[in-house]
Amino acid sequence: DAGVIQSPRHEVTEMGQEVTLRCKPISGHDYLFWYRQTMMRGLELLIYFNNNVPIDDSGMPEDRFSAKMPNASFSTLKIQPSEPRDSAVYFCASSSGQGPPLHFGNGTRLTVT
């Protein structure tokens, strides 16, 4: 089991550019979560999916953020246009059913200049 795989590990982009973060959950997991971590706000849940369907996107900061899960093995988080305040580490996590454990990837560190 390779665990949750995120790409890229690091992303540096200029303000106004589109950014796409990718996630491959653990095979067989039916829940997928996107979190964001900053020094100021800690770990925040942005959105989560169940069986590829978005269930709760109330944590998505604004319309510039969008997430998709076209199939059970792939999800994307897109920011368009990106802004410096979007700089953070973005984590993807997956789980089987509602209960623990939640398995996290190693994150994508995004820097927007």
Q: How many residues bind other proteins (CB under 8 A)?
A: 23
Which of 18-26, 49-57, 60-68, 79-87 is the region at the interface with other proteins (rule: CB under 8 A)? Answer: 49-57
Bridge partner list, 17: none
Torsion of CA 11, 72, 1, 101, to 10 degrees: 90
User: How far is Cα 103 from Cα 112, in angstroms, rounded to an integer?
Assistant: 27
User: In angstroms, what is the C-alpha Rg of the chain?
Assistant: 13
Residue 91 within binding range of other proteins, rule CB under 8 A: yes
Instruction: Assess 101 for contact with other proteins (CB under 8 A).
Output: yes
Give the strand order in the sheet containing 65-71. 5-7, 19-24, 74-79, 65-71
Nearer to other proteins (CB atom), residue 71 or residue 98 = 98
In the bound state with other proteins, the residue whose beta carbon lies nearer, of 42 and 70, is 42
Among 55, 80, 83, 113, binds other proteins (CB under 8 A): 55
Q: Name the residues that contact other proteins, by CB under 8 A.
A: 4, 31, 33, 42-43, 45, 48, 50, 55-56, 91, 93, 95, 98-107
